Every structure is written in structure tokens, then in C-alpha cells.
Amino acid sequence: MKVACDIDGVLLDTVITFCELFNKKHGTSYQKSDVTSWEFFLDWNIPEEDIWDIFFQIYADSMSTPLQDNKAPEILKSLNSTYDVSIVSARTPQYRDAILEKLRFHGIMQGSHYNELVLLFHKPYDLKIDQDFEIFIDDNPKLAEAINKQKDKFLLLYDQPWNQEINETQNVIRVGNWTDIELYFKKEKKNEDNNES
């Protein structure tokens, strides 16, 4: 089974760093909890280009961005020993070296924790749906909407303030942390083993 794991909002808590940089630049006091929609720049009445300028700054130097969950590296490694895990992110290829450096900094190594790093453009927002994966671990509500129309793809939707309007369905399952992700895959493995016996 092929699994696609996102970076921002799943492995790295990028929006915390974003708010820090945005507040410093604009003299505001936004927090992660204020990012309540995927296109939050519309709510904040800010040009989209300004938002992406800061995200690109983070992508170029992710070293100050914290892990989303300290258990993520260990659980990711365990998953990759059973499944074919790739890291799939809407960060363009120009940031590949910075991403690899940040992942290594957190002990997330290609070969042991994941097999391939796949980088895509950030638009259209559901671009990942066209990739050859059965299960996605992602925080993107637009991807949830696209996967709901599929029969053979599943999304573990990482709980974030910007995806609260998405309801769970048969193939969109909300997870609150990496322990929830681990439990989901343990249950899947048990079901697979039972079906084989």
C-alpha cells in the first residue's frame, strides 16, 4: 500500500512560524487559531502574494519550524517498514535541499522513514489526488473534498483550525495527532491479517 504524507500541518507546524513572521512584518498579533480557512488571506483581507512570500521564506529556511508532533519521526519510520511511504508536499522543487535538511535535522531520513520526496505546485489545491497513492495523511480540506469523490483513496485528515468544516466520511478520517495515525494503521494491518487467514 502506498502512503503519501504531507509536510506542512502534518510533519511540521508551519503556521506557527508563519504567524510569527507575519506579525513581525505587519505589527499584528495573529495566532494559529486565527487561521480558520484554507484561503485565510481572504479573511484577513491580504493579497495572496504577501502570504506566499512568507511561506516561501519559511520553505527556504525551515530550521526554526517545529515538529507538529514529537512522535512523528518514530511512527513514520514504523509505517515505512510496513507500507511504501512517500513525503508529498506542495512545495516546489527549488526547496528540495532545504526540506531534506530540515527532515534530517529531525531525524527523518530517506530510506528508513520514507522512500521518496515528491514536490508539487500549491495549485490547484487538490493536485495530490492525481498521484498514485491509496492513503494520504494531510491537513488540506480541498484534498478532502476531492477524495470524497473517490472510491479507492483514503485521507487521514490531520485536525487543524482550517479544516474544521470537513465532516468525516467513509474515506475521510480525522486524526488529532500521530498516535491516532499509528492506531489507524494498526487497525488496518489487523484487518488485512484477518482477511488473509
Look-up of cell digits 500521530: 178
HSE of 139, CA atoms in CB hemisphere, 13 A:
25
pLDDT range class, residue 123, cuts 50, 70, 90 = low
Q: What pLDDT sits at residue 118?
A: 93
How much is the pLDDT for 121?
73
Rounded-to-integer distance, Cα 119 and Cα 112, Å: 19
**134, pLDDT greater than 70:** yes
pLDDT of 122 > 80? The answer is no
Q: State mean pLDDT over 111-117.
A: 96
- Comparing 4-18, 72-86, 181-195, the range with the smallest average pLDDT is 181-195
Check pLDDT > 80 for residue 21. yes
Spatial CA neighbour of 87 closest among 58, 114, 53 = 114
Predicted confidence at residue 197, as pLDDT, reads 58
What pLDDT, on the 0 to 100 scale, is given for residue 19? 94
Q: How far apart are CA 139 and CA 174, in angstroms?
A: 9
Q: 124 vs 126, which has greater pLDDT?
A: 126
Single pTM value for the model? 0.92
pLDDT score of 6:
96
Output the pLDDT for position 95. Answer: 86
**What's the confidence (pLDDT) of residue 149?**
87
Burial of 3 (0-12, 13-18, 19+ CB in 10 A): buried
Query: What is the pLDDT averaged over residues 160-177?
Result: 96
pLDDT the model gives residue 131: 84
| Low-confidence winner among 38-42, 138-142, 173-177 (lowest mean pLDDT) | 38-42
Pick the CATH number of 2-12+67-196 from 3.40.50.300, 3.20.20.70, 3.90.950.10, 3.40.50.1000: 3.40.50.1000
Residue count (the chain): 197
Q: Which of 29-33, 39-43, 89-93 is predicted with the least confidence, judged by mean pLDDT?
A: 89-93
For the chain, the domains span 2-12+67-196, 14-64
Q: Which helix (H) or strand (E) holds 23?
A: helix 14-26
| Terminal Cα distance for the chain, rounded | 19
